[in-house]
Amino acid sequence: MTRSTARLGALRRVAGIAALPVILAFVAAGCGQAATTIEYSIWGDPAELASQQAIVDAFHEANPSITVKVTVSDWDTYWDKLQTGLAGGAAPDVFAMDGPLFPDFQSRGVLLDLKSYVEKDKYDLTQLADQGVKDFTTADGGQYGLPRDLNVIVLYYNKAMFDEAGVAYPDDTWDWAKLVEAAHKLTLDKDGDGTTDQWGLYTETTDMENYWSSLVWQNGGDIIAPDGKSTLLGSEEAVGGLQFLQDLIWKEKVVPEPALFAETGDAFEQGQAAMEANGSWLVPTLEAAGIELGIAPLPQGPAGRATSVNPTGAVVYKDSKNPDAAWLFVKYLASPAAQEKLMALKASLPVSKEVLAGPYAASFDGAQVFADSLAYAHLKPSFLGYNEFTAILQEELDTNVFNEPKKTARDAIDTVLAELNALLAGQ
């Protein structure tokens, strides 16, 4: 487990929820002696168990000869167990795949190309969100998985804090200037002791997905070249996006320095920040915290509107003894029937365009904001060497830009640019 992957785990589905201490498993209810059994492995938290059980039960009802055994574990345990299984030739038949990590797994030859199944079944990939399909498609036309759900970054806000401060709620007219203006009005020292008690904005800086990649795109920059062989972070536009985040922390002082909440966790969830830039997976946690929650699009930058979208997919182990059954289950996971059950969690967006435009958009207050965000969302970068790249980059940014302003964003990027390009060129 690399350092960057461990960071990602702290930010994804287990955000705000303690990691599962053990692996949980269940099978299709009432299945009896089925002819075929496949194993499906995912990461998640206890809240996902009910929806996954409902999906498995519905699949078995439609396919009574197939039993699905599901194992659910926390993020770190999931990847450790998967790597061990792959090394020993005993991986699950079907397993969840994070978009950015897909190229590394596909390049190792451990995933089954599903293109022949897609063609045989005349499966219509256009019924699924384009970003999700693209992340599991290779340059030579291979289809190594189907998307299961999508996660996008939005702006959460505490309505009560806005009302108390007399600040209008965020809307789609907000830009960087309006964000800074509102954040200043919402950053308060309530007891007059010289220490900020309420922050205007909270965001996590340890993973590009949670905000800084969106700032780079909003400023007209990009992160990785289309061929994946070099980084584009050296451009003035990209550096400007990173510098804006550093300025929010250390110049404007409307975002807490990361160390302040490194141990205690999410400041917005704890009622110590009025806004937060974070992902769709956080909705259940924030609702459980009792926050009077509002959801708005990320403020647009000088180059326009942008956010990050990251698909989770379902892939099939190349040496699965039951590839036909595995394909049937992967296909079912992306079906409207399964997507509506997954939607009940409110933790991610469905990949079925039918469900996304219909039931999902009306399923809870703010769901339409998530759905609309896909129109201007950029895929979270997915490329060979992702873990190594992010480990080098985040170490520099965390140490010298965000946690302490030892360097400007320009100086920090210049420090690691050659190393990052050499890494990518060698993949």
In tens, the pLDDT along 193-235 reads 999 999 999 999 999 999 999 999 999 999 999 999 999 999 9
Residue 38 pLDDT more than 80?
yes
Closest CA to 93 of 331, 320, 334, 314: 320
Q: Which two tokens stand for residue 415?
A: 């420090």
- Structure confidence at residue 267 (pLDDT): 96
Mean predicted lDDT score pLDDT of the chain:
92
CA distance 363 to 323: 35
- Structure confidence at residue 47 (pLDDT): 64
Average pLDDT for 270-286:
96
More confident residue, 70 or 28: 70
Q: Considering only 18-22, 133-137, 269-273, 276-280, which range has the smallest mean pLDDT?
A: 18-22
The predicted model scores a pTM of: 0.91
Annotate the chain with three-state secondary structure.
CCHHHHHHHHHCCCCCCCCCCCCEEEECCCCCCCCEEEEEEEECCCHHHHHHHHHHHHHHHHCCCEEEEEEEECHHHHHHHHHHHHHCCCCCCEEEEEHHHHHHHHHCCCECCCHHHHHHCCCCHHHECHHHHHCCECCCCCECCEEEEEEEEEEEEEHHHHHHHCCCCCCCCCEHHHHHHHHHHHCECCCCCCCCCEECCEECCCCHHHCHHHHHHHCCCCCECCCCCCECCCCHHHHHHHHHHHHHHHCCCCCCCHHHHCCCCCCCCCCCECEEEEEHHHHHHHHHCCCCEEEECCCEECCECCEEEEEEEEEEECCCCCHHHHHHHHHHHCCHHHHHHHHCCCCCEECEHHHHHHHHCCCCCCHHHHHHHHHHEEECCCCCCHHHHHHHHHHHHHHHHHCCCCCCHHHHHHHHHHHHHHHHHCC
Average pLDDT for 163-177:
98
CA distance 349 to 356: 7
In tens, the pLDDT along 232-274 reads 999 999 999 999 999 999 999 999 999 999 888 899 999 999 9
- CB contact at 8 A, 390 and 229: no
Tell me the percentage of the chain whose pLDDT exceeds 90.
86
Q: Measure the CA dihedral 132/136/140/143, to 10°.
A: -100
Q: What domains can be seen in the chain, in order of their start residue?
A: 3-150+310-372 (3.40.190.10), 152-308+383-425 (3.40.190.10)
Residue 20 pLDDT more than 50?
no
Residue 19 pLDDT more than 50?
no
Q: Considering only 23-27, 71-75, 148-152, 417-421, which range has the smallest mean pLDDT?
A: 23-27
In tens, the pLDDT along 291-329 reads 999 999 999 999 999 999 999 999 999 999 999 999 999
